[in-house]
Structure 1
């Protein structure tokens, strides 16, 4: 009988973990967006060299801090109390979120502050990968929440 009463609490706790991570992801993305827009514009305009090493170093440090938050979210997801009925979908969510964090790291790694340059092929691929993985995160999250 006790297990019956724990189940709704476990579902709520899990739903809160997932919801908090999605909210944190959105907030982090909004925080990083202005710097992303600067990089996107300089790549599109062919003016990367105009950024200078100081600005590029600042943006890279900001991106790394943001990417580290995403990596922390992967750990939080891995450690979440997962209800059995969403275990399969949860594994898909962890994988998609880890892939998203890896794509964010790839974008960060495309910035070479010392040389004042950007590996634009790597940056552009990371951008495409991020879009694909965050769409998967969103899709799986929606399906999980529908099951809870």
Structure 2
């Protein structure tokens, strides 16, 4: 980490967060119908849980790879504390996403609604922290 420069660090952070956002946007078309069915306590037979779980897992795998990149990124000394907070929040986000994946039972064509909703709350909280720490790093 010694000698890391903000001119290299900041664009990398920005890119990783942008890619995370784009991944989330791609997953929305699978998330929205599932969330609506769960919220309205609808039958899940119209939802392809296998495809949904696969796409969620692919997204979560991407988030875990992004987390690995964040952990190994050269960090300027002046933002090291903020970076550690960002890594912690991003780790929480990736974990919450995995919980959502794990809430989907393809064979039984069911979703553990409690785990799903807890995951939503954890994702919302951790994303807010990721945004907060990213802004503190990039804007000051």
Number of aligned positions between the proteins: 139
Partner of 2:118: 125
CA deviations over 1:42-66 (Å, ceiling 9, x no partner): 11222243236xx101100000000
For structure 2, the 5+ residue unaligned runs are none
Query: So what's the TM-score if we normalise by structure 2?
Result: 0.94
More helix by share: 1
Alignment root-mean-square deviation, CA: 1.5
Q: Distance between the aligned counterparts of 1:40 and 1:67, measured in 2?
A: 17
Matching residue within 91, 103, 119 for 2:84: 91
Q: Distance between the aligned counterparts of 2:44 and 2:21, measured in 1?
A: 30
**Which structure has the larger Rg over C-alpha atoms?**
1
Runs of 4+ more than 4 Å apart: none
Matching residue within 81, 103, 108 for 1:110: 103
Partner of 1:146: 139
CA deviations over 1:75-134 (Å, ceiling 9, x no partner): 010011100000000000000000000000001110001100000000000000000000
Q: How does 1:1-148 map to 2 (within 5 A)?
A: 10-51=5-46, 55-147=48-140
Give the superposition deviation at 1:139.
Answer: 0.2
Q: Distance between the aligned counterparts of 2:93 and 2:110, measured in 1?
A: 23
